[in-house]
Structure 1
Amino acid sequence: MPLFGSSSRSKLPLPFLSRNKQNSPAQKSTYSNNKSTGSRHSDPPPAYTPVSATSTTAPSFPAASSEGGSLAASPDQPDSFLAQFDTVFLIDDSGSMRGASWKATENALAKIAPICTAQDKDGIEIYFLNHRSDSSNGAYSNIRDTGHVREVFTAVSPCGGTPTGTRLNHILKPYLKGFEEASKSMSPDERDNAVRPLNIIVITDGVPTDDVDSVIIQTAKKLDRLNAVPWQVGIQFFQVGNDPEAAADLKELDDALAGHNNIRDMVDTVPWDGTQAGGGLNADGVLKVVLGAVHKKYDRKNATGGRQ
């Protein structure tokens, strides 16, 4: 994933994303877990090497950059900000998503994914709440274009509940473990140059059937305790459909969770019922969805470009 500038370093995988050199026999080659090595600017750095749950050694890292860990984006290309993050999509595939909501989710992701892929030539990762792929972490990796998104959605049938908190925990737990290991073995500057920030986009239509609040609160508290940069983890909830209960629940996560618990603001929400911008998200709305939880400039804009 190229960043700004001319210096380069190899990209290492996220701790919770298995990127083996060969696919499992049951997984299509379209979703290869093999990540390429590309030119990268040293601000910020690549992610760290995954650590086994039973390992007693600290993760290995590339050489830390001498440059700072500040974030920057071109005024003409604000989505260039995405080049500094690993972006993961978590899709609600519960039974309530059947029909119009499922198609709306597919269409929304088909619009959003190319924005991310423009900054990450290796593609994106897609998780589902219930469905698991054949990969070890249950995700679909290296999704690069709209066609890949359509193919994944064809293979998944919505069913079951909405275990958003459980699945978020599956993603966040190994990431936080690696971040904590880095905090023990490195200086804060070295750590911030070695652990790539994470942007999680949750696309859902309803209220979770488990405890999302606790997962977010515990994550935020750990990041605060470890003095992580404000943008180390962002969680963006993108609501499809117009369920008022779901809208209220997501708004609580966005507006009240951080204030009530004296923790960092790492959550943003965007409602979309398919009627905005003539039935589709406009460019600013797409940018809002992708960046809102980690870049507060876009957190202050709604899905149609106005101020909240």
Structure 2
Amino acid sequence: MHSLASSGGELTPEQVVADARAAGLHFLAATEHNTAATHDTWSRQADGDLLVILGQEVVTRTGHWLALGLPPGHVVDWRYGVRDDVIERQLAEVHRAGGLCVAAHPHAPYPSGTFMYPYQGFDAVEVWNGPWSSDVPWQADNEAALAEWGRSLAADLHQGRWRPATGNSDTHLKGQLGVPHTVVLAEELSADEILAAIRAGRSWIAGSTAVELSFTVSAGDRSAGIGERLATGGEPVVARVDVRGVPSGTVSFHTEQGTAHRAPLTSSGAAVVEWRVSAADSAFVRVEVRHPGGHMAALSNPVVLA
């Protein structure tokens, strides 16, 4: 989220927080461009119903990234580009402070917006930024970001380290809040728990609060949810997705072989879809839900199969 303190921002922190409460959000991340000047203001907006995570959108010469969970007043340096070979040092600084590093809108089509750094060292990748498809020329190319992340999953899992997907509204203006937002499967509403769940991939992305999704994979009497690992023991695996709020849409299951199965949703927007796969066929399975026109309604991080 951004306020007047960021370029292009038109809202005060108080206005953003009021909109967040009206939308039913439980937390937001305040990520002004290259400044911590509003940290105190943002912190005063938090209460028991709304968590404000302090951070920064680090706007460098060759890409933007999010530092989430910063201590109040902490500013991350931004005066560099990919050829300066300093990004690892900046990521380590955020990690030492207990924060999370997210590659932001990797395919944003404007100067400095396209992400030119390697994903190595980052904790997560923003694959969905703002409306899925837009006529606005500077809107991030979400299809490209998702495809790039999806192609890397199998190789990353093989190397023992995968980077979860996140989605953010990147709110600057009235009416943008929550489109999309990351739904986090955390034990409690605290910055530590939220960031730990995002780091582990225990999250999915919703295009609006009207969309609901649950996704589990089971083998025998064992089951796992989003971001978790399922020990299949060589048994057949059943992937089950429960969707609400996407009338006449489509749910698809994705593995290391690409799009492996598609199924239509009912006109009511509510459906339960099951599909069988095995660990021999793929190291993971994830789901996407799209509206009839093809725009994304929801997507999940994977369940890892072992």
Range of TM-score over shorter length = 0.3 to 0.5
TM-score scaled by length of structure 2: 0.33
Higher helix fraction: Structure 1 or Structure 2? 1
TM-score scaled by length of structure 1: 0.33
Q: Choose between structure 1 and 2 for higher RCO, CA contacts under 8 A separated by at least 6 residues.
A: 1
